[in-house]
Amino acid sequence: MVEVTIHPPVGRQRSAAPVPNGHALRAVPVGADEHALNLLVEGVHCANCIARIERTLGAREDVTEARVNFSTRRLYVRWRGEADAARVIVDTVEGLGYGAIPFDPEILASQGSEESKALLRAMGVAGFAAANVMLLSISVWAGLWSDMDASTRDFLHWLSALIALPAIAYSGRPFFRSALAALRGGHTNMDVPISLAVILAATVSLIETIGGGVHAYFDASITLLFFLLVGRYLDLRARAEARRSAERLLLLRATSALVETENGSVSYVAVEDLVPGMIVRVAPGERFPVDGEITRGQTEIDASLVTGESLPQAAARGVSVFAGTMNLIASVAVSVGRIGDDTLLAEIVRLIEDAEQGRARFVRLADRVARWYAPAVHILAAATFAGWVLFSFVGWQVALLHAVAVLIITCPCALGLAVPVVQVVASGRLLKRGILLRSGDALERLAAVDTIVFDKTGTLTMGRAVLTNGDEISDADRTVAMQLAAASQHPLSRAVLRAFGAGRPPADAREVPGCGVTATIDGSTWRLGRRGWCGAADRPVMGRGSELWLSRDGVPVAGFTFDDDVRPDAARTVDTLMARGFQVELLSGDRREVVDRIGEALGISQRRGGVSPTEKVARLRELEANGRHVLMVGDGLNDAPALAAAYASMSPAAAADVSQIQADLVFQGDLLAPVATALEVGRRANRLTMQNIGLAIVYNAIAVPFAMAGFVTPLVAAVAMSSSSLLVTTNALRLKREYADGGK
Amino acid sequence: MNIIAILIPVALLLGGLGLAGFIWSIRSGQYDDLEGAARRILIDEEPDEELLDVSQEK
């Protein structure tokens, strides 16, 4: 099932003419004098966020509408005046501390939401018709035992037909369309027997009604549609989330770049129009639009996209940079090397796409059942018709009536509800434990998992630096370090602040890109930064991870060492998983020694360090070839292809966006326990799904012979169908109770 | 039995009203942001005026 397709933005053939402002490209005119901008906002997770964004924008004179859609993390802003104001709007939102990426709604066409609306409408119409037709049917059934005369019954039948037929024609379209498409493609799916049953039942009922007959199945066919639509809507909602977040990947690519010309002037150019050799200026906080080489300036780069390493790397003239990585500290000029599809980011996207095609081969349980169920139903119905025509004298009309009864009875109403209801309940359980289920069939796949592959940085560890030798630092040095660190946004500075608490930054504090922070305190020049810059080049290496030095007037006085902290319950969770019989492996892009140390501490004997993204995928393929079903747990963008290639995948909520998009499940918090929880819920959910399918089959085994024998009247059909649907729904709800009881 | 000549149209009309309301609610985007509505009730109204005051003073 390919839900998440990644393709380059289309329909943006723009000339190389300079545009005034990169963000204005995305603003669209509304009415005579207004413009509107759609933004994807990152970091919105509570009511306060909504209020802050909407109020701050709303307080501007020219803004006429600002609305955050919390479900899709989108912001719609409309304002009076020129498109240029888009820049200010984006800056305003970013100034509040949220990431804001403008997008063209035409590129991210939200088919999902249209589909969901159409299903809801169909559901509403079917529900309305089902309720009313059922009301009339009850009168007819009551009439069977009392003295209702034929004309009243016919009248009620006609009335039912009047309500049911248009409703079936309208709300049955999703099924009819899918059935037609399947038949055209020369195969059959679950929608074929559904469509057949509904259409045949309606037609036969209409013929009965015209002829003044007793058996009209209007109620059965419309309630059938209603139940199925409910199941389908639940199913769609479970999958919508995954599709939505795929949109973000498109936006990691910069859309325009600031190009320097030879005479020193600059202009914005769409990324498609860049040519190798051009000089592009990249401001701090921006992502590099191309692969290339720094020609001027000095900065630090967040290259976690490529390396998975969370600590920034210093970069100066001559250093290669990659599209999609983030420039952190200072503005630099980059000579354009490779662009568009040749960039490393595009390469990673291709890896993901390839891996996904592998996963598309997974067939959902419901579809696997449908494969033999649909033909079986057709054969049974046809046999019923043939049997009655050949071996009795009731005439073809009655034979057809019995065949339709078989179709209605076998209709996978219970099956259609069985899977989605379990899914909705299970995802609700998981959400309460901080685990977001992102793909509809992930639960099914989780249940089959027998091998777990962990990434190291950010997955087994917290993915952030922690000061390890805080006790060895004297109080005086500590105070200075607090002050200097407060003037910097560098991750190591923040680690110092986390350990010591925030100080008051000195007035003349200055951050030197790639070196550290310097300031004058009590007449001495203090530096907090790299070893060489602080004159500590000849000091012995401390610790195993990153380090910072503090120097006074060029003399190093203290060294700080940092390490990445292991998640507090990592060892316990790994033990639990191994005790439950899972094979646990550690695959990391980090250095061998580090991987060995962490693996040793957690008791993971299967481990490999220095693994590239391609090698990770290769290892997963190898495991797959050995018949293992692998759950990949990872966070960096370098893990994204592996996450996509694995049988099932999980990411922590702090992971790179692209990895989250690839993961089936995303878990929050500092603990690793959600991995075990998710596997457990997956197994229970799968057991319930199996039970439900079993129930549906048992029900069919009992009901079908009756239907074939011609005992199923409209009343029996309606009751049997509703009761089986209720049965599977109730069974699915047991997941809630079962989990509350013993699932802890 | 003549009463059903009134009751049935009345029942259909009431049901139809509900259906029309439902379809209107879909059209007007009430189902676009299911999670947002649950959060928005937590937003206090008062700060709105303060913010406006601040912006006017500027």
Of A201, A203, A231, nearest to A712 (Cα)?
A201
Q: Which of A52, A70, A139, A160 to mutate to test the interface with B (most CBs of B within 10 A)?
A: A70
From A148, which residue of chain B is nearest by alpha-carbon distance? B1
Residues of A near B (CB-CB distance < 8 A)?
Answer: 46-48, 50-51, 55-56, 59-60, 68-72, 113, 116-117, 120-121, 124-125, 128, 131-132, 135-136, 152, 159, 163
Which residues have a Cβ under 8 Å from the Cβ of A690 and sit 6 or more positions away? none
To the nearest 10°, the Cα dihedral for A27, A239, A118, A10? 40
pLDDT score of A142 more than 80: yes
pLDDT score of A166 more than 90: yes
Q: Using 50, 70 and 90 to split pLDDT, how confident is the model at A670?
A: confident
Q: Say what the pLDDT of residue A452 is.
A: 93
Catalytic residue among A191, A219, A291, A455: A455
With beta carbons under 8 A apart, name residues in chain B contacting A131: 15
With beta carbons under 8 A apart, name residues in chain B contacting A159: 8
Q: Say what the pLDDT of residue B21 is.
A: 92
Q: Work out the average pLDDT over A445-474.
A: 84
Q: Work out the average pLDDT over A612-620.
A: 85
Q: Using 50, 70 and 90 to split pLDDT, how confident is the model at A15?
A: very low
Active site annotation includes A455: yes
Does residue A543 sit in the same domain as residue A523? yes
Which residues have a Cβ under 8 Å from the Cβ of A483 and sit 6 or more positions away? A503, A504, A505, A506, A509, A519, A521
Q: Work out the average pLDDT over A457-475.
A: 80
Q: Say what the pLDDT of residue A661 is.
A: 66
pLDDT score of A506 more than 70: yes
Q: Do B43 and A69 touch (CB under 8 A)?
A: no
Does residue A520 sit in the same domain as residue A644? no
Q: Say what the pLDDT of residue A5 is.
A: 35
Q: Say what the pLDDT of residue A122 is.
A: 93
Q: Do B42 and A47 touch (CB under 8 A)?
A: yes
Does residue A525 sit in the same domain as residue A536? yes
Q: How far apart are CA A369 and CA A415, in angstroms?
A: 9
Q: For A219-262, how does the pLDDT look when each residue is reduced to its tens digit (9 = 90+)?
A: 888 888 888 888 888 777 766 654 554 455 555 556 667 788 77
Which residues have a Cβ under 8 Å from the Cβ of A172 and sit 6 or more positions away? A122, A195, A198, A199, A225
pLDDT score of A524 more than 70: yes
Stretch among A165-169, A369-373, A450-454 having the lowest mean pLDDT: A369-373
- Calculate what percentage of chain A has a pLDDT beyond 70: 83
Does residue A468 sit in the same domain as residue A577? no
Bridging pattern class, strands A665-667 and A648-652: parallel
Q: Is A604 exposed, middle or buried (0-12, 13-18, 19+ CB in 10 A)?
A: buried
Does residue A571 sit in the same domain as residue A680? yes
Does residue A605 sit in the same domain as residue A650? yes
Q: Using 50, 70 and 90 to split pLDDT, how confident is the model at A161?
A: very high
Q: How far apart are CA A101 and CA A517, in angstroms?
A: 31
Stretch among A249-258, A327-336, A504-513 having the lowest mean pLDDT: A249-258
Does residue A480 sit in the same domain as residue A522? yes
Q: How far apart are CA A84 and CA A22, in angstroms?
A: 9
- Calculate what percentage of chain A has a pLDDT beyond 90: 8
Q: Is A178 part of a structural domain of the chain? A: no
Q: Say what the pLDDT of residue A461 is.
A: 83
Q: For B4-55, how does the pLDDT look when each residue is reduced to its tens digit (9 = 90+)?
A: 788 888 888 998 999 999 989 888 888 777 778 888 888 776 555 555 555 4
Q: Say what the pLDDT of residue A8 is.
A: 35
The CATH number of whichever domain residue A524 belongs to comes to 3.40.1110.10
Q: Using 50, 70 and 90 to split pLDDT, how confident is the model at A6?
A: very low
With beta carbons under 8 A apart, name residues in chain B contacting A116: 31
Bridging pattern class, strands A279-282 and A99-103: unpaired
Q: How far apart are CA A296 and CA A318, in angstroms?
A: 8
Q: Say what the pLDDT of residue A167 is.
A: 94
Q: How far apart are CA A305 and CA A638, in angstroms?
A: 6
Q: Say what the pLDDT of residue A453 is.
A: 92
Which residues have a Cβ under 8 Å from the Cβ of B10 and sit 6 or more positions away? none
Range of the domain at A454: 436-461+567-684
Q: Is A735 part of a structural domain of the chain? A: no
Q: Is A40 exposed, middle or buried (0-12, 13-18, 19+ CB in 10 A)?
A: buried
pLDDT score of A488 more than 80: no
Q: Say what the pLDDT of residue A187 is.
A: 76
Comparing A315 with A490, the larger pLDDT belongs to A315
Q: At A247, phi and psi to the nearest 5?
A: -60, -30
Q: Work out the average pLDDT over A719-732.
A: 79
Q: Is A131 part of a structural domain of the chain? A: no
Q: Say what the pLDDT of residue A637 is.
A: 67
Does residue A507 sit in the same domain as residue A585? no
Measured from the Cβ of residue A425, the count of other Cβ atoms closer than 10 Å reads 20
Q: Is A490 part of a structural domain of the chain? A: yes
| DSSP classification of residue A439 | S
Q: For A276-288, how does the pLDDT look when each residue is reduced to its tens digit (9 = 90+)?
A: 888 888 877 677 8
Q: At A40, phi and psi to the nearest 5?
A: -90, 125
pTM of the model: 0.65
| DSSP classification of residue A340 | G
Please give the biggest Cα pair distance in chain B: 74
Lookup: tokens for A261: 């010309």
Q: Say what the pLDDT of residue A583 is.
A: 92
Q: Is A54 part of a structural domain of the chain? A: yes
From B38, which residue of chain A is nearest by alpha-carbon distance? A47
Q: Work out the average pLDDT over A116-132.
A: 90
Q: Using 50, 70 and 90 to split pLDDT, how confident is the model at A349?
A: low
Question: What residues does A68 pair with on adjacent strands?
Answer: A75
Does residue A558 sit in the same domain as residue A625? no
Bridging pattern class, strands A547-552 and A524-529: antiparallel
Contact A29, A85 (CB under 8 A): no
Stretch among A246-260, A383-397, A616-630 having the lowest mean pLDDT: A246-260
The mean pLDDT of chain A is: 79
**Helix, strand, or coil (residue A545):** coil
Q: Say what the pLDDT of residue A162 is.
A: 92
Q: Say what the pLDDT of residue A414 is.
A: 66
Q: How far apart are CA A315 and CA A321, in angstroms?
A: 8
Lookup: tokens for A353: 């796409």
Contact A253, A323 (CB under 8 A): yes
Does residue A456 sit in the same domain as residue A571? yes
Q: Is A604 part of a structural domain of the chain? A: yes
Does residue A557 sit in the same domain as residue A573? no
With beta carbons under 8 A apart, name residues in chain B contacting A48: 43
Q: Do A113 and B32 touch (CB under 8 A)?
A: yes
Q: Do B40 and A50 touch (CB under 8 A)?
A: yes
Does residue A559 sit in the same domain as residue A574? no
Q: Which of A38, A45, A46, A50 to mutate to test the interface with B (most CBs of B within 10 A)?
A: A50
Q: Work out the average pLDDT over A647-666.
A: 76
Q: Using 50, 70 and 90 to split pLDDT, how confident is the model at A631?
A: very high
From A114, which residue of chain B is nearest by alpha-carbon distance? B32
Q: Is A657 part of a structural domain of the chain? A: yes
Question: What residues does A524 pair with on adjacent strands?
Answer: A521
User: Which of A536, A566, A596 represents a domain boundary (last residue)?
Assistant: A566
Q: How far apart are CA A484 and CA A465, in angstroms?
A: 18
Q: Do A135 and B16 touch (CB under 8 A)?
A: no
User: Which of A58, A76, A109 represents a domain boundary (last residue)?
Assistant: A109
The DSSP annotation for A8-44 comes to ---S----SS-BS-GGGGG-EEETTTEEEEEEEEES-
**C-alpha radius of gyration, chain B, whole number:** 22
Comparing A426 with A243, the larger pLDDT belongs to A426
Q: Is A616 part of a structural domain of the chain? A: yes
Q: Say what the pLDDT of residue A400 is.
A: 83
Q: Using 50, 70 and 90 to split pLDDT, how confident is the model at A582?
A: very high
Residue at token pair 């259909």: B12
Sheet holding A547-552, edge to edge: A461-467, A555-566, A547-552, A524-529, A516-521, A510-512
Q: Say what the pLDDT of residue B58 is.
A: 43
Q: How far apart are CA A177 and CA A115, in angstroms?
A: 13
The CATH number of whichever domain residue A614 belongs to comes to 3.40.50.1000
The CATH number of whichever domain residue A61 belongs to comes to 3.30.70.100
Tally of domains in chain A: 3
pLDDT score of A531 more than 90: no
Sheet holding A326-327, edge to edge: A313-315, A299-302, A326-327
Of A46, A55, A125, the CB nearest to B39: A46
User: Which of A532, A566, A600 represents a domain boundary (last residue)?
Assistant: A566
pLDDT score of A655 more than 80: no
Is B58 in the A-facing interface, judged by CB distances under 8 Å? no
pLDDT score of A500 more than 70: yes
